[in-house]
Amino acid sequence: MTAFDRLRQLLDLFRTPDGSRGSRRAKPFRQAAAAVFRDVGEEREVLLITSRDTGRWIVPKGWIENDENGAEAALREAWEEAGVRGRLASTEVAGEYRYIKQRSRKDDVLCTVEVYSINLTNEEDRWPEKDERTRKWFRIPEAIELVDEPGLREVIRDAMQLSAAA
């Protein structure tokens, strides 16, 4: 990502959803994300996956479907995108961040992502998006450095503290 792309991305966060390039929707779209943690000895690790479009490191996230709440969506996304199952550290949102979802066939939209802290219970070898993404466990400081989304770094820190307390 070039410096210009980064600046554009940051400026987009302040663009109103009814701007000339965006949706006419009054509120941001909602998504849910899973910050999945595990303990390895004395270390705490978080799971990151690659995005399908650019290969950047992110947490599993996606749209909240009509029949589910944010926590349920986060658990579903963790399974579909990363092949992991877990238990919620809390039903409360660990944190939120915003980003502009760039869509090739529709207008870009502003999304608010609700991040839920999840403690790993099971990791599968096969899952729905296995052939589309890479998953990898990282120590928290390394993961925070790898994540490129503005706002997500702080949310990972907050989610880790919530997860450790559960």
The predicted structure's pLDDT at residue 100: 83
pLDDT at position 162: 73
Instruction: Report yes or no: 72 and 123 within 8 Å, Cβ to Cβ.
Output: no
pLDDT of amino acid 133: 96
Q: How far apart are the first and last CA of the chain?
A: 37
Chain-centroid distance of CA 15 in Å reads 21
pLDDT value, residue 28: 83
Enter the pTM of the model.
Answer: 0.82
* Structural domains counted in the chain: 1
Domain residues for the domain of 17 are: 3-165
Q: What is the pLDDT of residue 11?
A: 67
- The pLDDT value given to residue 112: 94
- The pLDDT, as a whole number, for residue 107 is 83
Cα-based torsion angle of the residue sequence 105, 65, 34, 109 in order, rounded to the nearest 10 degrees: 30
CA-to-CA distance for 161 and 157, rounded, in angstroms? 7
pLDDT score recorded for residue 1: 57
Determine the pLDDT at residue 56.
Answer: 92
- Residue ranges in the chain whose pLDDT is less than 70: 1, 3-26, 166
DSSP string, 11-74: HHTTS-TTSSSB-S-SSPEEEEEEEEEEEETTEEEEEEEE-TTT--EE--EEEPPTT--HHHHH
CATH code at 147? Answer: 3.90.79.10
